[in-house]
Amino acid sequence: MEKSKLNRLNSNLKDLNSFVVAFSGGVDSSFLLYCASSISNLKVLAVTVRTPYIPAQEISEALEFTDTYHINHKIIDLEIPEIIKHNPVERCYLCKKILFNNITETAKENGYNYVLDGTNADDMKVYRPGLRALKEMGIRSPLSEAGLTKNDIRDLSKKAGLSLWNKPAMACLLTRIPYETEIRPEMLRMIGEGENFLFNKGYPGTRIRLHGDVARIECLPGYLEKIITDPGKELIVSGLKKIGFRYISLDLEGYRSGSMDQEIKEL
C-alpha cells in the first residue's frame, strides 16, 4: 500500500515538474522535499518563512536538511503580521494567507509554476482552518493527494534513512497561547526557550501552553510519569522560572494537538 502511494506521489511530482515547496523543516515537508530532490530534471526550490512565532529549532533544522541534500533553499523573513497580533480565532487562516502570498510571489518571481505544501492525508480529517486558505490559493498538497498518512510518511522516511523520521511535530508558537490574547515578543521568547529547555532535559515534543504567568506543560505519551518522578524535577521547575514563568503546572491529559482549540467553543 505504501509503495503504491509513494509511486503516486512521485508520478504527481514529475507531472508538476517546476515548483516551490513550502518547507517548515518538519517531517512531512522534509519527506516531500526529499522525494522531489530525488527525481531527475525537476525544477525545485525550498522556501522557509522565518517569523518570531516559528520555533528557531525548526529553522535551523530546515537549513541543515537542505544543506545535507544540496537543495536550493530560500529564507523569507517576516515580522508578526498586524492582523494576527491579538491571536484571533481565524489566526491560522489569516496567517496561511500571508505566508503563502509571500511564497507564491517568490515562486512567480523565480519562474516556478506551482507552490506545494506538506499537508498529509490525516490533516484532512481534523480541524485545520489554514487548509481553507491553501485551497483558495491553489496550493497543491501532493502527500495528501497521494493518500499518504503521517504513519506512512514516518515509515517511508525511516526506510529512506532520514534521521528526522520520528521527529515530534512542533507547530507555530501561537498555538501555545489562548485565542484573543495580545502577542508580545517576550511571550514567544519564553515559550521557545522553555520548550528547548525541556527538550534538552529529555522531553522532546513537549508543549508549554501559556496562561498569563502560568506554564501548562503537555508531555507526549510515556513522559508524563517520567517528569513526575524525575529526580531533577526541582531543577526543571527552577530552570523554567528563570526563563520567566511564575507558576509551573503539569497537564495530566498530556499532549493534545490543538488543545487550545477547545476555547473556540467557549468564545
Strands 247-250 vs 114-116: parallel, antiparallel or unpaired: unpaired
Contact status, residue 236 vs residue 201, Cβ threshold 8 Å? yes
Predicted local confidence at residue 94, as pLDDT: 96
* 87 φ/ψ sector (left φ>0, alpha ψ -120 to 50, else beta): left
The closest alpha carbon to 42, from 87, 1, 9, 83, belongs to 9
**Grid coordinates belonging to 189:** 521568547
Number of residues that this document lists for the chain = 267
Per residue in 91-150, pLDDT (tens digit) is 999 999 999 999 999 999 999 999 999 999 998 887 788 899 999 999 999 999 999 999
CA dist 53 and 172 (Å) reads 6
Show the cell assigned to 217: 506543560
Whose cell is 535551523? That residue is 60
* Location of C-alpha cell 527538550: 199
Residues 6+ apart with CB under 8 A from 107: 19, 20, 45, 47, 113, 114, 115
- CA distance readout (Å), 175 to 42, 70, 91, 111, 239: 35, 32, 9, 34, 22
pLDDT at residue 262, as a whole number: 64
The rounded distance, in Å, linking the Cα atoms of 99 and 107 is 13
Residues of the chain with pLDDT under 50: 266-267
* pTM, 2 dp: 0.90
8 Å CB contact between 217 and 207: yes
DSSP state letter for 39: S
Residue-level pLDDT at 267 = 47
C-alpha 36, offset from chain centre = 19
Which structural domains are found in the chain, ordered by start?
A: 2-159 (3.40.50.620), 173-266 (3.30.300)
Amino acid in position 95: C
